[in-house]
Amino acid sequence: MFIPTTKEELKFLKWNQLDIILISGDTYIDSSYNGSAVIGKYLISQGYKVGIIAQPDINSDKDITRLGVPKLYFGVSSGCVDSMVANYTATKKKRQNDDFTPGGINNKRPDRAVIKYVNLIQRYFKGENKRPILIGGIEASLRRIVHYDFWSNSLRKSILFNSKADYLIYGMGEKPILEFSKAIENNTSPNDIRGLCYISNKPKNNFIELPSFEECKSDKYKFIDAFNKFYLNNDPLTAKGLYQKHDNRYLIQNPPAYHLTTKEIDFVYDLKYEKDVHPFYKKDGIVKALDTIKNSVTTHRGCYGECNFCAIAVHQGRTIIQRSEESILKEIESIASEKNFKGYINDIGGPTANMYGIECEKKLKLGSCKNKRCMFPNTCKSLKPSHKKYNSLLTKARKIKNIKKIFIASGIRYDLILSDKNFGNKFLENLIKYHISGQLKIAPEHSEDNILNKMGKQSKNVLVEFKNKFYELNREYNQKQFLTYYLIAAHPGCDENEMKKLKKFASKELRVNPEQVQIFTPTPSTYSTLMYYTEIDPFTGKKIFVEKNINKKYNQKNILINSNNFRKKRRYK
């Protein structure tokens, strides 16, 4: 069953009025990879009548009023990506294509979509039709406190203030949104729900105060202090509530929602998803994203890699929340039994595929360490990496009827493989023999320790060791497969000299001319973005170089992708 998006569907279901209407910046794909679909299906499973309006026209009422007035509230999300990231490149050029829009043309998702959608609702639902507005998803989650916005080159207030929504749910939303729905239904205050933010006229007792919006604007060290406190209070086992003054009012952030258990996350992913675009939107054209996610399977949420340029730790969390082997295999069997299945699973993983089944027992009991990371500067001994469980899962998945090949397209942490002395080598063997075709993409990002330290990445020596082991095993198994490398230009701390060193390393040690090179994009709520704005290393307090000139950012990228020198050298080898 699709979640209804038309009046005809409501009539068919004999639903006179919806309880909740969800608004999304993505088209409606009924898939576990679509946050609005997950939340919608989950709430329906709990007895609520839910509808979805995807990519509504913000210049008229034709879409936003299509399903009438909800009984309880509106839920708003920009979609799977922050709308500014979806709409603009790292050099602020407008993106022409959108994989989450029918037809692929980027003309349906407005800039600052959460704010625009809230304003749209408020424009057409007034008086007796006014309902609470709850915002969520990645755009709301990562902009929930005072944050640097690259596209306006300024600090912005919490999106809860700028949107004028009533409430905000951050992180993974199943638990808090169910509690919120019950509170609104019972006409009780939701203000004590974990994972919820709201606006108050006064601070909350026993919560940690963050430097105010005005303090952050006037003093970059205050902004660093605010972000540090914010970042360190994201684990539900250790986090305190926060508050931050905006003018004469306060943003209140309750402690994070508790993680789902394996049983609970199995329930969410075992819900019946159509794995297709809703017919109402499908008629408008092909949705490219469907090609990737249709036959892909999520194994877990969360990532303890904590790369400083990545926001997963703030949004999904630093703890691996994994599905059971039974739930995952059941989903693969379901995909493999479909009439038009060609035999290929596109992906079986999570934010970092090979973190499935690997987690620190101490963290699971006591929460994340405040002054220590699992993977940086080296792999923590307390983590005790073991790919045994992931190897077992993959072996069983390969034996399922109609399966020809299962690809692992999610990120792989090669340093995690090397740290696993018992099962890491076996996992790499399986990867090479069964789960890649032609190439394996990995993300070292850079080669120079000065930059890697600012990225929160391990030394290039680990990369070289992995590269040698990868090609050694390829020769052993008579495979002609190769590594491709994701690299970043113009990360805070990086100048042209550092890029020249990276170019030399890539040519001499990796024997490649890099092609997968992206210019660093400062996205909300990451340490790298904090460095970009403040030009200060938040871990040392020292000033650092930050390239902010767009042409010079291109120069850094071009140093890597210019192939002339590389080709000349290759002729003499």
Q: What is the pLDDT of residues 92-121, one digit of tens each?
A: 999 999 999 999 999 999 999 999 999 999
Return d(Cα 160, Cα 191) in angstroms, integer. Answer: 14
On whether the CB atoms of residues 63 and 71 are closer than 8 A, the answer is: no
Are 514 and 200 in contact by the 8 Å Cβ rule? The answer is no
CA 201 vs CA 67, 214, 251: distances in Å: 34, 17, 9
- At 113, the amino acid letter reads A
The residue among 268, 208, 270 whose CA lies nearest residue 238 is: 208
Beta-carbon contacts of 28 under 8 Å, excluding residues fewer than 6 positions away, are: 2, 3, 5, 34, 36, 37, 52, 54, 277, 278, 280, 281
Section 485-505 average pLDDT: 97
Query: Quick one: pLDDT at residue 563?
Result: 53
Closest of 310, 573, 328 to residue 445, by C-alpha: 310
Q: Phi, psi (5° rounding) for residue 440?
A: -120, 125
Half-sphere exposure of 484 (CA within 13 A, CB side): 12
Who contacts 505 (Cβ-Cβ below 8 Å, separation ≥6)?
A: 447, 448, 460
List Cα–Cα distances, 25 to 56, 390, 497, in angstroms. Answer: 8, 34, 40
User: Domain locations in the chain?
Assistant: 7-198, 439-573
Question: What's the token pair of residue 30?
Answer: 């009924």
**CA distance to 150, 185, 445, per residue, from 535 (Å):** 14, 47, 20
User: Rounded to whole angstroms, how far apart are CA atoms 532 and 525?
Assistant: 12
**pLDDT beyond 50 at 571:** no
> Does pLDDT of 564 surpass 60?
no
Q: Alpha-carbon distance 12 to 546, whole Å?
A: 58
* pLDDT top residue among 565 and 500: 500
Mean pLDDT of 204-227: 98
307 is in an annotated binding site: yes
Summarised one tens digit per residue, pLDDT across range 261-294 is 999 999 999 999 999 999 999 999 999 999 999 9
Helices (H) and strands (E) in the chain, counts: 24, 22
Whether pTM > 0.85 for this model: the answer is yes
Q: Looking at residue 432, what DSSP letter applies?
A: I
Each as own residue / partner, the long-range contacts of residues 151-155 (CB below 8 Å, 24 or more positions apart, any chain) are 151/84, 151/88, 151/92, 151/111, 155/213, 155/216, 155/217, 155/223, 155/533
Residue 254 has pLDDT above 90, yes or no: yes
Asked if the model's pLDDT at residue 430 lies above 50, the reply is yes
Average pLDDT over the chain reads: 96
Q: Quickly tell me which residue has 């424009």 as its tokens.
A: 123
As its CATH architecture, domain 439-573 has: 2-Layer Sandwich (3.30)
Is it the case that residue 251 has pLDDT exceeding 90?
A: yes
pLDDT for residue 539 is more than 50: yes
Helices 527-534, 220-231: crossing angle, 10 deg rounding: 180
What local confidence, expressed as pLDDT, does residue 565 receive?
45
> Which helix (H) or strand (E) covers residue 277, if one does?
strand 276-277
Within 8 A by CB and 6+ apart from 421, the residues are none
Strand duo 20-24 + 73-77: pairing: parallel
pLDDT band at 216 (very low <50, low <70, confident <90, very high): very high
For residue 566, pLDDT over 50 is answered with no
Cis peptide before 377 (omega within 30 of 0): yes
Q: Which pLDDT score is estimated for 562?
A: 82
Tokens of 258: 């508790």
Residue 404 CA to residue 295 CA, distance in Å, equals 13
Q: Determine the Cα–Cα distance for residues 417 and 541; give it in Å rounded to an integer.
A: 33
Is 80 part of any known ligand binding site? Answer: no
Quote the pLDDT of residue 510: 95
In sequence order, the 6+-apart residues with CB closer than 8 A to the CB of 221 are 534, 536, 541
Residue 296 phi, psi (nearest 5):
-110, 150
Residue type for position 157:
K
Cβ atoms within 10 Å, residue 276: 15
Give 43-97 pLDDT, tens digit per residue: 999 999 999 999 999 999 999 999 999 999 999 999 999 999 999 999 999 999 9
Residue 572's pLDDT band, with cuts at 50, 70 and 90, is: very low
The CATH class given to the 7-198 domain equals: alpha beta
Q: What is the CA radius of gyration of the chain?
A: 24
- State the average pLDDT over residues 216-236: 98
Give the other-Cβ count within 10 Å of 504's Cβ: 12
What is the arithmetic mean of pLDDT over 561-571? 49
Given the structure tokens 């403040």, which residue do they identify? 534
Distance CA 225, CA 209 (A): 11
Cα–Cα nearest to 36, from 2, 86, 85: 2
Q: What is the pLDDT of residue 515?
A: 85
HSE, CB side, 13 Å, CA atoms: give it for residue 497. Answer: 3
In this structure, the number of other CB atoms found within 10 A of the CB of residue 218 comes to: 12
Confidence (pLDDT) at 570: 35
Identify the CA nearest to 55 among candidates 269, 273, 285: 285
